[in-house]
Amino acid sequence: MQDQDNQLRADAQPLKEFVSPSLAPFEPQQHLPSARRMPGRRRLRWIAIAAVALVSGAGGAGYYFWQRAHPPLPVGISFGNGRVEADEIDIDTKFAARVTELLVDIGDSVSPGQVLARMDTQDIQQSLSKSEAQIRQAQRLVDEAEANLAQQQTQKLLAEQEIDRTRALLTKGWTTQEIADQRQQARDGAVAALNAAQARVHVARHALEAAEHDAEFFRVQIADNTLVAPKAGRIQYRLANIGEVLPAGGKVFTMLDLSYVYMDIYLSTQEAGKVKIGTDARIVLDAYPDHPIPAKVSFVASQAQFTPKTVETQSERDKLMFRIRMRVDENRLLAHADAVRSGLPGIGYIRSDTAISWPKSLQGTP
Q: For 136-173, how does the pLDDT look when each residue is reduced to its tens digit (9 = 90+)?
A: 999 999 999 999 999 999 998 988 888 888 888 888 88
Q: Give the pLDDT score at 2.
A: 46
More confidently predicted of 43 and 136: 136
pLDDT digit string (tens) for 247-266?
999 999 999 998 889 999 99
Tell me the mean pLDDT in the region 7-32.
Answer: 43
Cβ atoms of 347 and 80 closer than 8 Å:
yes
- Taking the C-alpha atoms of residue 200 and residue 198, their distance in angstroms, rounded to an integer, is 5
**Above 70 in pLDDT, residue 48?**
no
- Calculate ∠ Cα 304-310-315, nearest 5°: 55
**CA dist list (Å): 153 to 166, 199, 205, 253:** 20, 13, 19, 61
Q: What is the pLDDT of residues 182-241, one digit of tens each?
A: 888 888 899 999 999 999 999 999 999 999 999 999 999 999 999 999 998 999 999 999
Measured from the Cβ of residue 121, the count of other Cβ atoms closer than 10 Å reads 21
Going from the C-alpha of 96 to that of each of 65, 173, 246, the distances in angstroms are 64, 81, 6
Asked if pLDDT for residue 15 goes beyond 80, the answer is no
Angle between helix axes 122-172 and 177-224 (nearest 10 degrees) is: 160
What does pLDDT average to over the chain? Answer: 80
CA distance 334 to 337: 5
pLDDT at residue 39 tops 70: no
pLDDT in tens, 302-331: 888 776 655 555 555 446 788 999 999 888
Closest C-alpha to 163, from 142, 133, 192, 187: 187
Q: pTM to 2 decimals?
A: 0.62
Average pLDDT of the residues in 9-19 = 44
Backbone angles phi, psi at 153, to 5 degrees: -65, -40
The DSSP line for 88-129 is EEEEE-SS-EEEEEE---TT-EE-TT-EEEEE--HHHHHHHH
- What's the CA gap between 330 and 199, in Å, rounded? 58
